[in-house]
Structure 1
Amino acid sequence: METYRTEEEQVEALKRWWQENGKSTVFAVVLALGGVFGWRAWSDHQQNQAGEASAMFDQLLAADAAVQNTGRPTSTAETLAETVKSAYGSLTYGQFAALYKAKYAVMKGEYSAAAEELQWVLSKGPDAAVRSQTEMRLAQVYFAQGEYDQATALVEGLNGTGYAPEALELKGDILLEQGDADGALVAYREAKAAQKAQQVPSQRPMLDMKINDLASNEQGAQS
């Protein structure tokens, strides 16, 4: 500001400055404070949401354990899964809840409903680990529906993930259903190799049975 000769001139200058700049300055300060408090409120809200989602998801896990261990109906677990999905769909908890809904749909043979849940998860742009898991399950659902081209497209994209052994085995299953026993055997052996490369203990005895069965058929055809 200029240097004014009298007190009156200083007061008048301050009035003019306030009229020209004061309101915008206050508005800027209010916005800045609002941003700080708004961020804190949003952050607190997010933390509260995550805590609530975690608690409800724990209930879902307990209900799912009851289904698996005692053979209870899936109704309670399904209700909890739908609640978590609906309330916390923007969080990973909601995405996992949809995976559980898909699992229960598969258990009841409702493959179209399962596919819808899995496609919903993918539409949320999940992280890489959740995406791979979801794509693997969706490929299995497509296979169960006889949608072999769609299943193949998904398993081909899983070769570089932790689901490579499972995906390659499913690829073999698809080829076998399509009448390509030689291609199926190649895929099964690749699945076995991928399993060893990941140093994963063998927990897929059916894979060894498939390899042995097709390999013996191959040898029989050659002899």
Structure 2
Amino acid sequence: MEVYNNDNQRDQTEAVKQFFANNGKALAVGAVIGIAALVGWRFWVNHQQNNALASSDRYQQLTSTLKADNPASIQALASFVDHDKTSYGALASLTLAKTYVDKSDLQNAAKILEQGLQDSSDQSLQAVIRLRLARVQSELKNPDAALKTLDAVKGDNWTGLAADIRGDILLNKGDKQGAAAAWRQGIKSEVSPAVKQMMQTKLNNFS
């Protein structure tokens, strides 16, 4: 048995030597490529983290100094939205849109919200932007566009809020039955008690 073990070990050793002789260069190249890929991945992750921190700092700075009566601060935030293609740019679009709405500049509010939608892949953030955009589009007397925007809202957490806005839009279009149906759907959804009570009050106005 011992002889068998010794012979087996020698065979294995020779096989390993032969393997590295035949494949040594390929293994070396593969190792170099693997290390390069790992280094590149870590560099990319660090780069993304640094960019996110820079975007966060810039967002905080611009939003904290934003003033409706200061055109320069509005332009600075608009420039940030234009150039920062991250969720911080999308968040900034919400802040900037509110400023435009307060100034009754609904066209620019809609434009900046549409831009914000393109800058984030986060479903919840996109839902918030679409809810705001639908309100603005309704105010711009474009109810069909507003309803289409609401159709794109994803996530059960937003169903109730979308239904409330949909009801308001349909009511403004003169579709009382559609509005009532939307609010009934919203009341059944997962939404805060305050919003449910608001929709119930709207429904009660039809009785």
Q: TM-score, normalised by structure 1?
A: 0.66
After TM superposition, give the deviation of residue 60 of structure 1 in Å.
3.7
Choose the corresponding residue for 1:207, options 194, 199, 207: 199
Q: 1 or 2 for the larger relative contact order (CA 8 Å, sep ≥6)?
A: 2
Cross-structure match for 1:82: 78
The 1-side partners of 2:152 and 2:114 are apart by: 16
Q: Are residues 1:142 and 2:144 paired? A: no
Query: What residue is the counterpart of 2:117 in the other structure?
Result: 122
Check if 1:108 corresponds to 2:100: no
Deviation at 1:143, TM superposition (A): 0.8
1:154-165 to 2 correspondences below 5 Å: 154-158=149-153, 160-165=155-160
For 2:168, give the aligned amino acid. Answer: D
SS at match of 1:109: coil
C-alpha distance in 2, partners of 1:125/1:166?
20
Contact 2:87 2:119 in 1 (8 A): no
2:168 counterpart residue number: 173
**Alignment partners' CA distance in 2, 1:203 and 1:175:** 18
1:53 to 52, 55, 80: 55
Q: Distance in 2 between matches of 1:159 and 1:30?
A: 44
**1:177-214 CA distances to partner (integer Å, 9 max, x unpaired)?**
222223222222322332xx34x231576534422222
In the alignment, structure 2 segments of 5+ residues that lack a partner are: 1-24
User: For residue 152 of structure 1, what is the aligned residue in structure 2?
Assistant: 147
**Structure 2 residue 64 is the aligned partner of structure 1 residue 62:** yes
Aligned counterparts of 2:199 and 2:57: Cα–Cα separation in 1:
38
Moved more, 136-145 or 27-36: 27-36
Partner Cα distance (1:58, 1:204) in 2: 33
Q: Aligned AA for 1:207?
A: M
1:108 aligned partner, one-letter code:
K
**Cα deviation code 1:138-161 (max 9, x no counterpart):** 211111111111111222343753
1:73 aligns with 2:65: no
Q: CA RMSD in A?
A: 3.3
Q: Counterpart in 1 of 2:7?
A: none
Contact 2:123 2:155 survives alignment (8 Å) = no
Which residue is equivalent to 2:12?
A: none
Q: Distance in 2 between matches of 1:129 and 1:35?
A: 33
Between the two proteins, the alignment pairs up a number of residues equal to 185
| Aligned twin of 1:8 | none
TM-score by length of 2: 0.70
Aligned-partner SS, 2:69: coil
Percentage of identical aligned residues = 27
